[in-house]
């Protein structure tokens, strides 16, 4: 069965630190990849997505992610985090049926 694994469950950073959240998936076919974010008290929203083309994709709020097909990975990065980035982050993979398979989520806490 397809699965998505997020390496870090809880990350604590100080403002201005760099962020990298790991995401690996197990699915051999063509995939679409997503990162979603859920800010405290808000609904889940799309941060960025990869369908094809340039494996380095840029999203909202300065986030980017790199798709490495050989490693089945789609890691999320941000060079300098802000207190307002405190949220829960979910990696997801979309298979040929259209279903999304989510990772367990990573809670990011940014200290001011």
Partner 1 sequence: DVKVTQSSRYLVKRTGEKVFLECVQDMDHENMFWYRQDPGLGLRLIYFSYDVKMKEKGDIPEGYSVSREKKERFSLILESASTNQTSMYLCASSRLRVEQYFGPGTRLTVT
CA neighbor of 5 nearest in space, from 19, 21, 25, 20? 25
Nearest to 22 by CA among 13, 12, 35: 35
Q: Is 58 in the site for partner 1 (CB under 8 A)?
A: no
As given in the structure block, the two tokens for residue 43 are: 């609904």
Other C-beta atoms closer than 10 Å to the C-beta of 109 total 12
Binding segment toward partner 1, per CB under 8 A, in 12-20, 35-43, 61-69, 75-83: 35-43
**By the rule CB under 8 A, 86 interacts with partner 1:** no
Q: Which stretch binds partner 1 (CB under 8 A): 17-25, 41-49, 61-69, 75-83?
A: 41-49
Binding region for partner 1 (CB under 8 A): 9, 32, 34, 36, 42-46, 49, 51, 90, 94, 96, 98-105
């Amino acid at each position: 069965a397809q699965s998505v694994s997020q390496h870090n469950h809880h990350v604590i950073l100080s403002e201005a630190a760099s962020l990298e959240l790991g995401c690996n998936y197990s699915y051999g076919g063509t995939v679409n990849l997503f990162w979603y974010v859920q800010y405290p008290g808000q609904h889940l929203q799309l941060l960025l997505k990869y369908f094809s083309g340039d494996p380095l994709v840029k999203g909202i709020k300065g986030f980017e992610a790199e798709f490495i097909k050989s490693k089945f990975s789609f890691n999320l990065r941000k060079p300098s985090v802000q207190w307002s980035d405190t949220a829960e982050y979910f990696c997801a993979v979309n298979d040929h049926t259209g279903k999304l398979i989510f990772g367990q989520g990573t809670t990011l806490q940014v200290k001011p």
